[in-house]
Amino acid sequence: MAKPTFAMYWAASCGGCEISLLNVGELILDVDAAFDVVFWPCVADFKYQDVEGYPDGYIDLCLFNGAIRNSENEELAHLLRRKSKTLVAFGSCAYEGCAPGLANLTTNAATIRTVYTDSLTTDESRTQVPRPVTQVPEGEIHIPVLYETVRPLDQVVPVDYIIPGCPPEARQIAAVLRAVLTGMPLPAPGGTIIGAGNVALCEECPLAKNVKQITRFYRPYEIVPDPGICLLEQGLVCMGPATRSGCGALCPQVGMRCEGCYGPLDGQDQGARMLAAVASVVAAGGSHIDEHAQAQEIAAVMDTLVDPAGTFYRFSLAHSLLRRARVADNSA
Amino acid sequence: MENEFQPIIVGFLCNWCSYRAADLAGTARVHYAPTMRPIRVMCTARVEPEFVLKALREGADGVLIAGCHPGECHYVEGNIKALRRFTLLKAMLRQFGVEDERVQLVWAAASEGKQLAEAVDRMTEQLRALGPLRWRQRVLGEQPVARHALEVEVGAD
């Protein structure tokens, strides 16, 4: 009997998901023994034409990481959906846009200006900006077109499973791979989240939690937090209350606030939930002062939270209720 | 007048004061813009930021949250919690390109029907000046199903 086939692809991502998969350790040898790798640009030399040549549904398990940001990403999403029996949105980019999705707060023009024009360079003599079409003596060269809005995989094609995390924890990946290898039944597909918990991160965080009274917000570099005490209480915007568990609260335990990479809980908007959680416990605007002073006092504390959209939606912006910012030139 | 843009305002009104203020404005036959779709909530603190974002995404041009004056909350300080959330929500919405006038928080006691009506009138004028939001259509580039149906309905009147 032929071995089941395995593919992994990266779209708009950093490559960390690949490394995280290899972090499962010796289990990767079992994966290699059990599966026939038929497409995996990071580790094996297959061409897009090879995939196009496979019959539909040829790939048994396809882990797709990365967001859909350009025409190449989108083409491969459709291609791999067609060729795969089980398509998994692997990691935060494919699930909810992740850091590439933050580009949705601005325009392509502004992003390109920052990267190619405004940033410091060792070569001041020329400015080069990528062009979709370039004329060379041999003919025309095309590169993929950058889209105005970054989309998660499930906004482009139907996804069977989602493994959240930036990157997904090796322990969680291993659990899923073991289940697949031993033929254990997975939950019903249809964008189902696997390899993660079902409660807020705070539930698995061992830091001591007392009554929360935030008098001002701090960015991580501004203070050294007291060990053993909830970071949110200390004014760090720890995303624990609005984030799915599953990682084991690794970051808060070493004094780094949770940035929210496992995404929201079922049916929630991560940023809105975090905003609600954090704003109502701000210790400002007591009822003993008049309305005007009250509003000012509250505004002063909120001003210490730099970049609320980028903080609350660092990973989930492209998958949130609003999905992107409204800018002058994205009106249809 | 016929062609004037009628903004859609989703109004979250506190059960204990502003919803009664709206009632009072009605029984007192105060004339004001028919732009607000009132939704009764038990307290302004019940209005989660998600409600506001969803209203904006699904076709509202603005969201009005109205509750008791500070110090008069039925639940002691629910309105202060709402004010804290609202302050931060506005800062965040600015990053999303949503103007301050589109999401407003006003205090209106049960006796202040006229003040609530004035707030709706004022907000309607501000939204007319800003123009329609139409998030799904103009920001996400989707077809305006809900809004379109609504416009047909209104146009038939």
Domain A5-100+147-193: top CATH class: alpha beta
CB contact under 8 A, B57 and A322: yes
The pLDDT of residue B133: 94
CB contact under 8 A, A269 and B140: no
Give mean pLDDT, residues A106-126: 87
Residue B35 structure tokens:
């732009």
Give mean pLDDT, residues A26-32: 91
Taking only the tens place, the pLDDT of each residue in A216-226 is 999 999 999 99
Taking only the tens place, the pLDDT of each residue in B48-88 is 999 999 999 999 999 999 999 988 999 998 999 999 999 99
Give mean pLDDT, residues A5-9: 95
| Closest listed residue to residue B17, CA positions, set B54, B59, B95, B69 | B69
Q: Write out the DSSP string of A179-211.
A: HHHTTPPPPP-SSEE-SS-SSBGGGG--SB---
Q: Which domains does chain B have, with CATH numbers?
A: 9-156 (3.40.50)
CB contact under 8 A, B53 and A322: yes
Distance to chain B for A300, nearest Cα, Å:
10
Domain edges within chain A: 5-100+147-193, 201-319
- The phi-psi region of residue A44 (left if phi > 0; otherwise alpha if psi is between -120 and 50; otherwise beta) is beta
Place of tokens 């659990």: A175
Give mean pLDDT, residues B135-146: 79
CB-closest option in A275, A299, A321 to B89: A275
CB contact under 8 A, B83 and A312: no
Residue of A nearest to B81 (CA): A280
Non-local (6+) Cβ contacts of B152 within 8 A are: none
- DSSP type of residue B138: I
| Closest listed residue to residue A261, CA positions, set A68, A92, A16 | A92
The pLDDT of residue B1: 53
Q: What percent of chain B has pLDDT over 90?
A: 83
Complex ipTM = 0.92
Contact status of A318 with chain B (Cβ, < 8 Å): no
Instruction: Report how far Cα A158 is from the mean position of its chain's Cα atoms.
Output: 18
Distance to chain A for B23, nearest Cα, Å:
25
Q: Are A89 and A152 in contact (CB under 8 A)?
A: yes
Distance, in Å, from the CA atom of A326 to the CA atom of A81, rounded to the nearest integer, reads: 30
Q: Please name the helix (run of DSSP H) or strand (run of DSSP E) that holds residue B93, with its range, or none.
A: helix B78-95
Distance to chain A for B95, nearest Cα, Å:
7
| Closest listed residue to residue A238, CA positions, set A210, A253, A258 | A258
| Closest listed residue to residue A269, CA positions, set B130, B100, B54 | B54
Q: Which residues of A touch B54 (CB under 8 A)?
A: 321
Question: HEC profile for B116-134?
Answer: HHHHHHHHHHHHHHHCCCC
CB-closest option in A275, A286, A323 to B140: A323
The pLDDT of residue B144: 55
Residue of B nearest to A313 (CA): B92
pTM (2 d.p.): 0.91
CB-closest option in B81, B95, B135 to A309: B95
CB contact under 8 A, A302 and B91: yes
Contact status of A268 with chain B (Cβ, < 8 Å): yes
Non-local (6+) Cβ contacts of B2 within 8 A are: none
Cross-strand pairs, A134: A141
Taking only the tens place, the pLDDT of each residue in A299-315 is 999 999 999 999 999 99
CB-closest option in B77, B83, B95 to A308: B95
Distance to chain B for A266, nearest Cα, Å:
14
- DSSP type of residue A119: S
Contact status of A332 with chain B (Cβ, < 8 Å): yes
- pLDDT bracket for residue B156 (50, 70, 90): very low
Q: Are B13 and B66 in contact (CB under 8 A)?
A: yes
Distance to chain A for B133, nearest Cα, Å:
9
pLDDT at residue A20 is higher than 60? yes
The pLDDT of residue A208: 94
Residue of B nearest to A317 (CA): B96
The most confident of A120-134, A160-174, B129-143, by mean pLDDT = A160-174
| Closest listed residue to residue B41, CA positions, set B22, B69, B19 | B19
CB contact under 8 A, A279 and B138: no
Residue of A nearest to B144 (CA): A332
CB-closest option in B50, B77, B97 to A272: B50
- pLDDT bracket for residue B146 (50, 70, 90): low
Residue of B nearest to A282 (CA): B84
